[in-house]
Each structure stands twice: as structure tokens, then as C-alpha cells.
């Protein structure tokens, strides 16, 4: 099991059928040629599909665990959930990004090839690079930038 994580322009859909009705918040699909791509499903897009454990472990490793999972204000405080992105979110990610690459200056975002033992920082850098790129992009290009997890 895992998350469907998306970052970008908010799309709200209202479904109503008699007493059965709901509001669904989602993100407009986006593919950018220059977006991070490391051999994952969804490369170059504003969506990722990590397992619960891998995402949590990597967020811990890069220093963003509370940022993601705090019960009060984490981006994944509710699951499913939708959170409006702010400049404060960007600043926290930028700070973690800078600290991560200061601690692991030789980290190269990517996954180990068959038979290789690549350091953990490389696969965690994949998630950090994706998160930073798309939050930065959303805050510049979207009128309602959000982080959605489903």
C-alpha cells in the first residue's frame, strides 16, 4: 500500500446523487520536461506513488518527518488530505534541502542498479528533489497550489 501524492493546481469536484454527495479535491495533472525523473512511474510529473514506509523513512532521513506527519500541521496530517501550500512550506523544504546536501555532498539522486548497494541518501534524494521541484513550481505557477495525498 502507498500514497498517491500530487502537487499543483487545486481542482475541486462536487458529486451529488440524491443523499449521496461529496466534494473531492485533487490536483491538475502536470508534466514538465525538466522535472525530476529517476525511473519511477510518473517521472517528470507532479505525482508520485511511494509506499507508506518508504515515504516516511525518507522524510525522516532528510529531516522533513514532522513537516509531513505532524498531527497539527503536517502535509499528511489527514489521509486522504489536501493542504494549501505556502511560502513557509517552501522555506522549510529549502532548509531541509540545504542541510541534506551539506551533510551528503556526494549524494546523487537515483536508485541502485541490480546488484549495487547505493547509499540510502541517493534514493531519499529522489523524493527530496521531487518535493522541492514541484512545491517551487506550484507556488509560482498555480493560483491555488496544493499538496494532495490519497
Q: Answer yes or no: are the C-beta atoms of 72 and 27 closer than 8 Å.
A: no
CA angle 68, 44, 127 (to 5 degrees): 30
* pLDDT of residue 58 exceeding 90: yes
Confidence of residue 115 (pLDDT cuts 50, 70, 90): low
Confidence of residue 22 (pLDDT cuts 50, 70, 90): confident
Q: How far apart are CA 122 and CA 145, in angstroms?
A: 28
Mean pLDDT of the chain: 93
CA distance to 28, 93, 129, per residue, from 62 (Å) = 27, 10, 11
Range of the domain at 40: 5-149
Q: What is the mean pLDDT of residues 74-100?
A: 96
Q: What is the mean pLDDT of residues 12-29?
A: 89
Q: What is the mean pLDDT of residues 105-117?
A: 80
84: exposed, middle or buried (Cβ count in 10 Å: 0-12, 13-18, 19+)? exposed
pLDDT in tens, 132-148: 999 999 999 999 999 99
Confidence of residue 69 (pLDDT cuts 50, 70, 90): very high
Three-state SS at 26: strand
pLDDT at 55: 95
Beta strands in 2-124 (DSSP E): 5-17, 20-27, 47-48, 81-84
The model's pTM is 0.92
Q: What is the mean pLDDT of residues 112-131?
A: 83
Number of domains, the chain:
1
pLDDT at 114: 66
Amino acid at each position: 500500500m502507498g500514497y498517491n501524492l500530487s502537487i499543483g493546481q487545486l481542482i475541486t469536484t462536487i458529486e451529488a446523487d440524491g443523499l449521496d454527495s461529496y466534494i473531492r479535491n485533487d490536483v491538475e495533472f502536470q508534466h514538465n520536461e525538466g522535472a525530476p525523473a529517476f525511473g519511477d512511474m510518473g517521472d517528470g510529473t507532479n505525482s508520485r506513488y511511494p509506499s507508506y514506509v518508504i515515504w516516511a523513512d525518507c522524510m525522516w532521513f532528510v529531516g522533513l518527518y514532522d513537516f509531513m506527519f505532524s498531527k497539527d500541521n503536517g502535509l499528511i496530517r489527514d489521509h486522504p488530505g489536501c493542504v494549501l501550500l505556502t511560502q513557509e512550506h517552501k522555506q522549510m523544504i529549502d532548509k531541509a534541502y540545504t542541510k541534506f546536501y551539506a551533510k551528503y555532498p556526494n549524494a546523487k539522486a537515483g536508485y541502485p542498479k541490480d546488484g549495487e548497494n547505493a547509499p540510502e541518501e541517493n534514493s531519499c534524494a529522489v523524493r527530496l528533489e521531487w518535493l522541492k521541484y514541484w512545491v517551487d513550481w506550484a507556488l509560482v505557477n498555480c493560483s491555488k497550489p496544493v499538496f494532495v495525498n490519497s
